[in-house]
Amino acid sequence: MSFGPTANQSIASRAGVLRKRLGTTGPVKLVRAPGRVNLIGEHTDYNEGLVLPAAIDREFLILFEPWDRPEVQMTALDMDETRSFAFEGLSPETRGARSWIDYVAGTAWAMREAGLPIRGFRGVMQSTIPVGSGLSSSAALEMASTWALAVPGTPRPATGVMAAIAQRAENRYVGVNCGIMDQFASAAGEAGHALLIDCRTNTFKTTPMPADLSLVVCDTGSPHRLDASAYNTRRSECELGVKLIAEREPGVTALRDVDEEMLARNRDRLPEVVARRCEHVVKEDGRVMATVVALRDGDLDALGRLFAASHASLRDLYEVSSAELDAMVEIANEVPGVVASRMTGAGFGGCTVNLVRPGAEEALQDAVMANYGKRTGLTPRVFIVAAVEGAGEVELDA
Ligand code: ADP
Ligand code: MG
């Protein structure tokens, strides 16, 4: 599949392409939703912990013509495919063969389940988010869908509530067991800011990205991804840790309630693997808070140490890194001007996230292009990205 327009094409020109494809002269609407990259806080969301993602300027667009029929007809330009679904009888039990339309239909289903009115439309969509690289194209599609399906004039729930509805679409309708971070980041983004999301309360604060740091994402191009069963195993290991610790520590319902001291005094109760998984999660929450402080203070040395510690913990304690991700981080760390580098996303394949001094982005890109393929036999991609505002409707010129 191709991505058609490149990321730096303006929304207006991408919308022009979509409008032609939709082929109407009537009134249309445009909604957008960004992908996201997580700066730090990995595998913490489903432990009711903290994450620090940013919405990035790789985005889904849906251009559509609302209609009165209780159904959606959508064309995915990147796939050159048109699919439709009716609102009547929509349910995970009656979902057909797997398709990208499931993310839209699932969002419609989850919105209705949450008591939100929805409206049908005929639309076209296109994205500049690479698929399956861990930049959350799926969550962006869901968040864009929430905006396209919403009935104008009806109150929109709080960002965290809307993100939870989209997460439910992915968990229950599509059948992918993900945490809430991806939908939340796509929904809540703010230009030039990262988002400190508390996955216990589903609330967030924005935190400014230092103006003298660039954000660079390196895609390992690895076909391996943390598969559903490995992800679910990690989740149940964390749950077992909580259960065993809670037998002695009243009030513990998630790893969020466990600090390093509590983990240390209960470690003998835990199978060795479970203890290591818990140690990663407990310390990763602390690294998220320390990263917020380091970003605020512009403490580049601290950022480098925190990213390195997170990567090492994901590699050695949580065991979700890979030779490719490790190689990508090693290559980045040798480039002058690279401040911090770590794997991002669930693991095995996907991307690394890098904080880079402005001017060093190309040196990083060159080093990756020169060395990564030699070390791994794979073709990398490098994206210089910026933090942007979250999903919403875009005003169109008449
Ligand atoms: P990611 O890490 O990018 O979220 P997922 O496997 O969770 O990867 O979601 C990818 C799925 O989202 C694709 O298989 C497809 O169904 C849908 N999707 C993503 N981008 C597009 C696109 N441009 N056009 C149509 N569907 C898309
Ligand atoms: Mg996804």
The domains of the chain, with CATH numbers, are: 11-207+387-394 (3.30.230.10), 214-385 (3.30.70.890)
DSSP class per residue in 173-194:
II-----SHHHHHHHH--TTEE
> 100 in ligand 1 pocket by Cβ < 6 Å?
yes
C-alpha distances in angstroms, 4 versus 29, 83, 204?
21, 20, 34
pLDDT digits (tens, 9 = 90+) for 30-87: 999 999 999 999 999 999 999 999 999 999 999 999 999 999 999 999 999 999 999 9
> Is pLDDT at 2 greater than 70 in this prediction?
no
Residue 224 banded pLDDT, cuts 50, 70, 90 = confident
Residue 162 banded pLDDT, cuts 50, 70, 90 = very high
CB neighbour class for 69 (10 Å; exposed up to 12, middle 13-18, buried from 19): middle
Rounded distance, CA 21 to CA 125, Å?
10
Q: Considering only residues 133 and 41, tell me which one the structure prediction assigns the higher pLDDT.
A: 41
> Is pLDDT at 8 greater than 70 in this prediction?
no
Rounded distance, CA 102 to CA 166, Å?
12
Q: Say if residues 76 and 22 touch (Cβ distance below 8 Å).
A: no
Q: Pick the ligand that lies closest to the CA of residue 129.
A: 1
pLDDT digits (tens, 9 = 90+) for 290-342: 999 999 999 999 999 999 999 999 999 999 999 999 999 999 999 999 999 99
Q: Nearest C-alpha to atom 4 of ligand 1 is from which residue?
A: 136
Distance 139 CA to ligand 2 centre (A): 6
Span 364-381, mean pLDDT? 97
> 79 in ligand 1 pocket by Cβ < 6 Å?
yes
Active-site residue 182, yes or no? yes
- Residue 397's pLDDT is what? 75
DSSP-assigned letter for residue 156? P
List alpha helices for the chain, DSSP H: 11-22, 101-113, 137-149, 159-168, 181-188, 228-246, 260-266, 272-297, 300-316, 323-333, 361-376
pLDDT digits (tens, 9 = 90+) for 243-269: 999 999 999 999 999 999 999 999 999
